[in-house]
Amino acid sequence: MQRLGIGLIGSGFMGRCHALAFRAASSIFDLPAQPMLELLADVDDEVARRGAEGLGFARSTGDWRVLVADPKVDLVDIAAPNVLHKPIALAAIAAGKPVYCEKPLAPDAAAAKILVDGAEAAGIKTMVGFNYLKNPITGLAREIVSSGEIGEVIGFRGIHAEDYMADPAAPYTWRLEPSGGAGVVTDLGSHIISLARFLVGDIAAVCGHLETIVKERPVGPGAAETRAVEVSDQARCLVRFAGGASGSIEASWVATGRKSQLDYEITGTKGSLAFTQERMNELKLYTLGQPSGREGYKTIVAGPDHPPYADFCPAPGHQLGFNDTKTIEVRDLIVGLADGGAPWPDFREAWEVQRVVDAVVGSARDGRWVGIAEV
Amino acid sequence: MQRLGIGLIGSGFMGRCHALAFRAASSIFDLPAQPMLELLADVDDEVARRGAEGLGFARSTGDWRVLVADPKVDLVDIAAPNVLHKPIALAAIAAGKPVYCEKPLAPDAAAAKILVDGAEAAGIKTMVGFNYLKNPITGLAREIVSSGEIGEVIGFRGIHAEDYMADPAAPYTWRLEPSGGAGVVTDLGSHIISLARFLVGDIAAVCGHLETIVKERPVGPGAAETRAVEVSDQARCLVRFAGGASGSIEASWVATGRKSQLDYEITGTKGSLAFTQERMNELKLYTLGQPSGREGYKTIVAGPDHPPYADFCPAPGHQLGFNDTKTIEVRDLIVGLADGGAPWPDFREAWEVQRVVDAVVGSARDGRWVGIAEV
Amino acid sequence: MQRLGIGLIGSGFMGRCHALAFRAASSIFDLPAQPMLELLADVDDEVARRGAEGLGFARSTGDWRVLVADPKVDLVDIAAPNVLHKPIALAAIAAGKPVYCEKPLAPDAAAAKILVDGAEAAGIKTMVGFNYLKNPITGLAREIVSSGEIGEVIGFRGIHAEDYMADPAAPYTWRLEPSGGAGVVTDLGSHIISLARFLVGDIAAVCGHLETIVKERPVGPGAAETRAVEVSDQARCLVRFAGGASGSIEASWVATGRKSQLDYEITGTKGSLAFTQERMNELKLYTLGQPSGREGYKTIVAGPDHPPYADFCPAPGHQLGFNDTKTIEVRDLIVGLADGGAPWPDFREAWEVQRVVDAVVGSARDGRWVGIAEV
Amino acid sequence: MQRLGIGLIGSGFMGRCHALAFRAASSIFDLPAQPMLELLADVDDEVARRGAEGLGFARSTGDWRVLVADPKVDLVDIAAPNVLHKPIALAAIAAGKPVYCEKPLAPDAAAAKILVDGAEAAGIKTMVGFNYLKNPITGLAREIVSSGEIGEVIGFRGIHAEDYMADPAAPYTWRLEPSGGAGVVTDLGSHIISLARFLVGDIAAVCGHLETIVKERPVGPGAAETRAVEVSDQARCLVRFAGGASGSIEASWVATGRKSQLDYEITGTKGSLAFTQERMNELKLYTLGQPSGREGYKTIVAGPDHPPYADFCPAPGHQLGFNDTKTIEVRDLIVGLADGGAPWPDFREAWEVQRVVDAVVGSARDGRWVGIAEV
């Protein structure tokens, strides 16, 4: 089998998650190429060396440029801090290598567009990490919507709320850098925006409202010195889809008590469905035409009928986990890199998501509806 | 005991609900006055006669003006079609009698204000039927919020979605009369707006979006002829509260599959809570300060600790129903009519709710934020 | 309309619940006779007088024998302490009056049988208060089972667990009197046994296990003196139904945290269903034959398709409460008392339930299966 | 790092699950030894060769005896059909190699005891695959029970119900071989019995009831010829724990609609908890001492506070899956094989589980309580 040399930049939360996914993907799936954990880059040689050892990479480097240039690296995998996404991606494109980048691809749509144009001009395959799209039960939701089982979509409600920044003592981090003021809209909002697009289609316009709840944060853990926060902690927007449906999208990282409230609810003229990430193996479905007195939402439990669940387990109801969705993402990446394939979601899709993010921010700033076409 | 002669106008769904509530209230509670089902008015003598017999009223009339003037009628209870709310209420006020009116009080805020001013100038006590406020577990929610148990409120999400108008064959009714185009905002939205105000406080501004999904409806059941619908079937808005919190409110009567999705979720800096009418005896509560590894939302089940649950049943978890909330409303009405009392929510509160409705409609029309003060 | 003079004995929890139900029933339903709250009896004149005033009875007496003999009392309603059920019922039967008795009818099956035989010999109509059978959604469950929608029943699981006796400081009461040692089996177990019979049919044999968790209780509230408890606090049994299904039944009044866990789950060869009283307006239903990848339990929400829900409210999903099930019970009683009717569940059914209770107790004592026919 | 050569026998569902777990464990955890997928054995050379290729083993063999003898095999991992567990385990013990065996270890307690005695006499470390014990949230449940947070345990309810044998057309398989008639008691019951022991402790006695619902099954997929089934399809038993608690345990593989209903509920004198595998990342917990009017079960969501969740993901609420519990099992195995370690659950624990299974079968046959000491 063909070998695919992975060059991973970053060994933090997401870097580790990627490494686990590459290893699991080759166990779980029958892949067209064998991913090899070839080279790990991190901020310096020592951090990289320890990361490589921990994650099982063959070699390490303190310089991501070395990684991009390495002849055994066939895929540049970016799990580095957001500020590095653009230079690394451009370098990989220049080197003619496919790129797998964690979301958010870029701080704003303009920057994302440069990457899209660069990759497309060079014919480079790309992928961005929106792994919630890869949950089999969300794949079922998409199939139900696109098949017309719930009729024409008239409503969408999407929420991504967590509480990891709710504590005012949580220190300032790179997530709070004022890249357009988006904050949680980029960090969590991009997930629910990508789901909205995946399930319902293009968004035409938004009208948003952003807020910074914790206005000062310690410069570091336990620090007395604080720094002003310029980005949003919670965001809400109304949306209009190109296909005619309307809806709302919310994102918050200060939602006290919520650990993973990534919910969507879709209303159609002939049915409706609802999902929450907190029970990520379940989909609620209502359809017209049930016998009288027996109408109700059914709870569909993920199982072998929902590909690629069966690759993980032959028995229904046994539950997939968060990491499994990343494994499916990596499967889709490797399959997409094979001849004739196209990984998805790619840079263009990430740009489309970022356009919505920018529109929400602009809309909130101006207090009016903003068309995505304006971005 | 003092007797309180009830004059009810309208023997439909809500008229019957009121009659049941008056009878139940005197069984369940120790009231300061005994409600007597004195006189029922309806569209004509025959309908009124049958209604009185069915609901247990002593007498009947085909003319609501007779009812208002009847010396044995101490309280004018309006469960008539919306268009009659204003003339009846004004007549009752002129006759110096307290008024109990189903929501919506009036088609718009201006009309409601006339009633408020009239009642207040005349010193007439009033009440409007927002019975969801009377659920003991929602009373608990208010207590939790107002006591600061969840800190400062930073977010509110409110939904009232049902599907009774989802079928395009559902005929044109008075609910669809174009009183400002509000439609579902008035019909269901007023419930969730009143809850938002009850739980979080005054709303300062809204930014709304309305849609008419079913654009033509049969003029009557099974009719081939159709009539254009001008009012909204589904509505969404962003809200800003005077106290600083922000949120979203949604209402729909075309939410396929939803029978009674009246949900609210309140996020505070120290906790959060969540409720759905579909499980109206439960409140989810999260608070900071739980032991490590033991944090979670608790599900509080309605019981005798949540007044006036104990008046219905001494055992916790035995479940109240929808009609019981109307019974509590009537209790509050009769207690409020006693010396020194003040029923609540009164006409003024209903006017405040209607101002928000009007702001949503205006905002949706103009595509911008509208301050409630503008209405 | 015919009048039905109610003579109620006992003004405690259940007496009040009955009075409320009689008043509500005539509001809610179109009854063949009008129940009149004629006469209330309690332990002495003063208690009876206050009870009558509070519950709305016309007259009162401190002697239940006077009540039974009163010419205006058409129905003897027994909500007195258990020890009085038998003498009052026998007196009513002797007086030729129908009897409505709270469960448990008698301390053991032998005593119950005497009442059954007496009533049947005299042609007296009877009813026993198993109001959980009257929940419309449980009526739906029965319809689903009996229609064969879930095939042949092969399994039943029933639980009635609450925690009102969990506190060791909860004092000794009449519930703890050693009528055969049944304790919770009679008090709560009889509810779930009656549901088992209602839904699946006759029970053929049981094998039970009983336990007294709190072995000493204060003789009264806060008393230092204690009294030994001889009856069971929690009970479990295996059951075999006459129709071939098997199952398990559990009852506990020391189930810390449970307020109203009255659950049943029925498995058939073609489907299954599940209910919990904590969400008494919902029924979960699974049936074979759903489209591939779309299989799931549906949640049916009580509504107008489930009689007599519509008599309470025309809108689905609006929720009935505990008291509403008692109101339905009283409706069934009054309809059953009319010409040609037969109230149900009657004394015979209560005797059948008690036979199962006795069998559980005997089985637990002897450590073996006991056939109901042995009792 | 030390290398641990894995010799796996069987490449079916569980064989694959083991292989995935070994690969994942070395990615997820910092292990004392590196598992190497050294040698795979299966029924013949060709099946083994394909299995090894698919699962990533270095070599293959059609003879498990060759595997046991292979010098590079340090651990004998048995995922072969049940009938082979005993001979392979004995051979591995004889070869002085540790053994990791899927449940059930043996067809009955006597056979299991031979393996226990053999392993203990030879000082061989062993482990049996009860991976549900490894769920972090079940670890939390055990910690809560053992710390006394819910007081003294007085009740246990355990269920393991699925429907993979519900279809009468599901053919006869090795699961149906009449090893003492246990059937589902061994196959699924062993899981819930092991959980009961893990959470509450030794079982003292049981009283069981078994049934064969589908009495004839096709000899193969679609076959017209049928074969009589002698083993149980559903099982229920009452249990008494050595520590004084009592409870019930049920198992079924014909529970129409249930995909993974592995539930437990534990009642203590000061609290209670409840779990269902269908929501395997949640634990419900009730404790005494909550503020008045605020009592309720809390839903604890698995997160980094529940080891070893954090090794999979640093963010709470992101959900582990079924395969992750197998990965934790393999971690415990490898840690247990290191110097001074002891894998658990070992053969002795599996024998204890099997004793309960045998007691249930004997009890059901004789219609009486059977003490575990009798087995």
If residue B241 lies in a helix (H) or strand (E), which one and from where to where?
strand B234-241
Chain D touching partners, 3 or more CB pairs below 8 A: A, B, C
- Best probe of the C interface among D164, D248, D285, D374, by most C CBs < 10 A, is D248
Distance from CA of C73 to the nearest CA of B (A): 21
Look at residue B82 and tell me whether its pLDDT is greater than 90.
no
Residue at a domain's end among D131, D160, D180:
D131
- Cα angle A100, A103, A109 (rounded to 5 degrees) comes to 105
Residue of A nearest to B166 (CA): A269
pLDDT at D181: 72
Model confidence band, residue A175 (pLDDT cutoffs 50, 70, 90): confident
D167 and chain A in contact, CB less than 8 A: no
D297 and chain B in contact, CB less than 8 A: yes
A218 shares a domain with A87: no
- Cα angle D326, D327, D330 (rounded to 5 degrees) comes to 90
Look at residue A181 and tell me whether its pLDDT is greater than 90.
no
- Whether B373 is covered by a domain: the verdict is no
Q: How far separated are the first and last CA of chain A, in Å rounded?
A: 44
C273 shares a domain with C295: yes
Chain C touching partners, 3 or more CB pairs below 8 A: A, B, D
- Cα angle C123, C124, C129 (rounded to 5 degrees) comes to 140
What does each C-alpha distance from D194 to C278, D21, D77, D202, D235 come to in angstroms? 30, 21, 20, 10, 16
pLDDT at B178: 75
pLDDT at A1: 67
CATH, residue D42:
3.40.50.720
- Model pTM score: 0.97
pLDDT at C174: 81
- B285–D305 C-beta distance less than 8 A: no
Q: Which residues of chain B lie closer than 8 angstroms to D299, CB-CB? A: 296-299
Report the amino acid identity of residue A40.
L
Q: What share of chain A is helix, strand, coil (3-state, %, to 5)?
A: 40, 25, 35
Q: Which residues of chain A lie closer than 8 angstroms to B370, CB-CB? A: none
Distance from CA of A291 to the nearest CA of C (A): 11
A222 shares a domain with A115: no
- Convert the pLDDT of each residue in D352-375 to its tens digit: 999 999 999 999 999 999 999 998
Look at residue B83 and tell me whether its pLDDT is greater than 70.
yes
Q: Where are the alpha helices (DSSP H) in A283-346?
A: 309-312, 322-337
CATH, residue A139:
3.30.360.10
Q: Quote the percentage of chain A above a pLDDT of 70.
A: 99
Q: Which residues of chain C lie closer than 8 angstroms to B301, CB-CB? A: 259-260, 278
Q: Quote the percentage of chain B above a pLDDT of 70.
A: 99
- Whether A374 is covered by a domain: the verdict is no
Chain B touching partners, 3 or more CB pairs below 8 A: A, C, D
- Whether A372 is covered by a domain: the verdict is no
Mean pLDDT for the stretch of residues B212-223: 95
pLDDT at B1: 67
Q: For chain D, which residues score pLDDT lower than 70?
A: 1, 179-180
Q: Quote the percentage of chain B above a pLDDT of 90.
A: 93
B30 and chain C in contact, CB less than 8 A: yes
Rounded CA separation C326/C165 (Å): 24
Residue at a domain's end among D106, D131, D156:
D131
What does each C-alpha distance from D70 to A164, B18, C238, D22, D352 come to in angstroms? 51, 84, 51, 19, 31
Select the residue of D208, D209, D256 nearest C267 (Cβ to Cβ).
D256
Q: How many CB atoms lie within 10 A of CB B366?
A: 12
Rounded CA separation C328/C135 (Å): 8
A362 shares a domain with A255: yes
Torsion, CA A310, CA A313, CA A314, CA A319, rounded to 10: -90
- Whether C23 is covered by a domain: the verdict is yes
- Whether B371 is covered by a domain: the verdict is no
- D298–B306 C-beta distance less than 8 A: no
D301 and chain A in contact, CB less than 8 A: yes
- Cα angle B275, B166, B15 (rounded to 5 degrees) comes to 70
D157 shares a domain with D16: no
- Best probe of the D interface among A13, A27, A278, by most D CBs < 10 A, is A27
A18 shares a domain with A145: no
Look at residue A367 and tell me whether its pLDDT is greater than 90.
yes
Q: Which residues of chain B lie closer than 8 angstroms to C330, CB-CB? A: none
- Convert the pLDDT of each residue in A32-68 to its tens digit: 999 999 999 999 999 999 999 989 999 999 999 999 9
Residue B293, CB half-sphere, CA atoms under 13 Å: how many?
15
Q: How many domains does chain B have?
A: 2
pLDDT at A13: 86
B236 and chain A in contact, CB less than 8 A: yes
- Whether D348 is covered by a domain: the verdict is no
Q: Which residue range forms the structural domain that includes residue C10?
A: 2-131
Mean pLDDT for the stretch of residues B300-310: 98
ipTM (interface predicted TM):
0.95
Residue of C nearest to B316 (CA): C259
D201 shares a domain with D178: yes
Residue at a domain's end among C73, C103, C131:
C131
Model confidence band, residue B175 (pLDDT cutoffs 50, 70, 90): confident
A236 shares a domain with A211: yes
- Best probe of the C interface among D165, D238, D370, by most C CBs < 10 A, is D238
pLDDT at A204: 98
Select the residue of B290, B295, B300 nearest D295 (Cβ to Cβ).
B300
Torsion, CA D87, CA D92, CA D94, CA D97, rounded to 10: -170
A208 shares a domain with A72: no
Name the maximum alpha-carbon separation found in chain B. Answer: 68
- Whether A305 is covered by a domain: the verdict is yes
Helix (H, G, I), strand (E, B) or coil at B85: helix
A148 shares a domain with A17: no
pLDDT at A74: 98
Residue of B nearest to D309 (CA): B293
- For residue B309 the two structure tokens come to 């649950």
When the pLDDT of each residue in chain B is averaged and rounded to a whole number, the result is 96
Rounded CA separation C56/C21 (Å): 12
C206 and chain B in contact, CB less than 8 A: no
Rounded CA separation D331/A282 (Å): 29
pLDDT at A82: 85
pLDDT at B13: 86
Mean pLDDT for the stretch of residues A120-131: 97
Look at residue A180 and tell me whether its pLDDT is greater than 80.
no
B151 shares a domain with B125: no
Distance from the Cα of residue C13 to its chain's centroid: 14
Rounded CA separation D243/D227 (Å): 43
In terms of Cβ atoms closer than 10 Å to its own Cβ (0-12, 13-18, 19+), residue A114 is middle
Q: Which residues of chain D lie closer than 8 angstroms to B272, CB-CB? A: none
Q: Which residues of chain D lie closer than 8 angstroms to A320, CB-CB? A: 319, 321-323
- A295–C300 C-beta distance less than 8 A: yes
D290 shares a domain with D235: yes
Rounded CA separation C210/C252 (Å): 10
Distance from CA of A258 to the nearest CA of D (A): 8
Mean pLDDT for the stretch of residues A11-18: 92
D285 and chain B in contact, CB less than 8 A: yes
Q: Which residues of chain B lie closer than 8 angstroms to D301, CB-CB? A: 296
Q: For chain C, which residues score pLDDT lower than 70?
A: 1, 179-180
Report the amino acid identity of residue B178.
P
- Convert the pLDDT of each residue in C131-173 to its tens digit: 999 999 999 999 999 999 999 999 999 999 999 999 999 999 8
Look at residue B280 and tell me whether its pLDDT is greater than 70.
yes
Given strand B99-102, what is the order of strands in its sheet? B59-61, B33-41, B2-9, B75-78, B99-102, B126-129
DSSP-assigned letter for residue B134: G
- Whether D90 is covered by a domain: the verdict is yes
- Best probe of the D interface among B144, B298, B301, B305, by most D CBs < 10 A, is B298
D307 and chain B in contact, CB less than 8 A: no
- Convert the pLDDT of each residue in D30-84 to its tens digit: 999 999 999 999 999 999 999 999 899 999 999 999 999 999 999 999 999 888 9
